[in-house]
Amino acid sequence: MKLNGTLGFLGFGNMGGAILRGLLKAETLAVEQAWAYDVDAEKCAQAKALGVAVAATAAELAGKSDTLVLAVKPQSMAEALAQAQPGVSPKTLVISIAAGISIGYVQENFGRDVRVVRVMPNTPALVGAGAAGIALSENCTAAAAEVARTIFEAVGVAEMVSESMIDGVTALSGSGPAYFFYMVECLVAAATAQGMDEAQATRLAAQTLLGAGRLLKESGEPASVLRERVTSKGGTTAAALEAFRQGGFDKVVAAGFDAAAARSKELGK
């Protein structure tokens, strides 16, 4: 699906840039349809380097955008919304990718009749392998949902969820990359403690993480089945998994998930 109309990015940091590059690469959006605004002149320069038109103000950007992506940090959102508000109309579709910013908060600033999509993406979108949860305001149309899905599927996969599930999405895939990076750090540390070269251990661990993810996604089989297939009775994998169980690995993961979800709720207050 090709996007119609103009797409504006209020904030053009890593995530905003990744989304736009994904859309351009997939030919879902023509560069002539894109606009950007950022308070940082360097980020505006990066947008210009891609051929993107840069607005002089947030309000001008909002007025130029059929779909407006709010890609600023949560702590800067109040100021950004206030600056953009004069350019927003009931026809504007607003997509927020800021953690903890509710649909209601955006509508309080832009008007209750404005359609708002709340999205929790993640950093692998930078390499076209993102995972995003998408929640719609009650007044969103099917067309608005399709626009949101099209944007985020250009940089990975997207799942439609209720807004009440966004905190869970944040804990699962929003923060999730860091969990896997941490496990790689731990595996590399364990390998180097056994005398392995750190660079070699890192490459092997990274490829193992990539391969396991691709196998899980492409095989269509449950993680439990794939795990069992690798685990020979009395073998090395069985020994490692038993050590994980004895160490309460499942409880540690659950505690981390719950802590991330709780923090996401706090940020939204």
| pLDDT score recorded for residue 251 | 97
Q: Give the end of a domain, one of 149, 168, 187.
A: 168
| pLDDT for the residue 2 | 87
Angstrom CA distances, 193 to 179, 182, 185, 243, stand at 21, 17, 12, 18
Per-residue pLDDT at 190: 98
Query: 225 lies in a domain?
Result: yes
- pLDDT, one tens digit for every residue, the chain (269 residues): 789 999 999 999 989 999 999 999 889 999 999 999 999 999 999 999 999 999 999 999 999 999 999 999 988 999 999 999 999 999 999 999 998 899 999 999 999 999 999 999 999 998 989 999 999 999 999 999 999 999 999 999 999 999 999 999 999 999 999 999 999 999 999 999 999 999 999 999 999 999 999 999 999 999 999 999 999 999 999 999 999 999 999 999 999 999 999 998 887 77
**Do residue 140 and residue 250 come from a single domain?**
no
Same domain, yes or no: 26 and 112:
yes
User: Which pTM value belongs to this model?
Assistant: 0.91
Contact 93, 67 (CB under 8 A): yes
Q: Are residues 151 and 24 part of one domain?
A: yes
Strand order in the sheet with 130-136: 53-54, 34-37, 7-10, 67-70, 93-96, 115-120, 130-136, 156-160
In a domain, 2, yes or no: no
- pLDDT value at position 100? 87
Whether residue 234 sits in one domain with residue 206: yes
1 falls within a domain: no
Instruction: Specify the pLDDT at position 1.
Output: 78
Q: How far apart are the first and last CA of the chain?
A: 36
| Domain interval for residue 19 | 7-168
Please give the tally of structural domains in the chain: 2
Q: What is the per-residue pLDDT for 266?
A: 85
For residue 237, give the 3-state DSSP assignment.
Answer: helix
How much is the pLDDT for 256? Answer: 97
In a domain, 13, yes or no: yes
Q: How many whole angstroms separate alpha carbon 85 and alpha carbon 165?
A: 27
**191 and 209 belong to one structural domain:** yes
